[in-house]
Amino acid sequence: APGVYQLASLLVELDTSDEASRILCADALYQMGHVEEAHKLLLLALSRNPQRSPILARLALLQLKKGFTYDGNQLLKKVIRIGDTSCLLPIMDIFKDEDRKLMQTHCHLRALTILKG
């Protein structure tokens, strides 16, 4: 993760509009345990493109990880409204096991609540 972060940081410096490198930086920061820095980087990327599902999904996980269930739900709802949920499965490979389980459990429980309602 540190090497990926360094490479992605260099790519961002070369092209500040490169969203993929910015997301790669955030993923590397997350993997290194720098959740707050990853969160800030994703918020910056989101400010440039507020309809990007991969960014929203990553932010949703970080909000759930911090215990901000409402915020995480709102971000996941936005991903669903956009209609690009294809980003969720590849992102699950990036998440640490405990966070993957957190996201899966949360989504499962929300789906059950919706179905019961």
**For 13-35, how does the pLDDT look when each residue is reduced to its tens digit (9 = 90+)?**
888 888 889 999 999 999 999 99
**For 82-102, how does the pLDDT look when each residue is reduced to its tens digit (9 = 90+)?**
988 888 888 888 889 999 898
CB 19 within 8 A of CB 45: yes
How many beta carbons lie within 10 A of that of residue 2, not counting itself? Answer: 10
Please report the pLDDT score of residue 74 as a whole number: 93
Once rounded to an integer, what is the mean pLDDT over residues 75-85?
89
Burial of 38 (C-beta count, 10 Å sphere; 0-12/13-18/19+)? buried
Domain count, the chain: 1
Q: Residue 17 carries which DSSP code?
A: T
CATH number of the domain at 93, please.
1.25.40.10
Domain boundaries, position 88: 1-116
Q: Taking the model in full, what pTM does it have?
A: 0.84
Residue 37 has pLDDT above 90, yes or no: yes
The string over 11-21, giving b where at least 16 C-beta atoms fall within 10 Å of a residue's C-beta and e elsewhere, is bbeeeeeeeeb
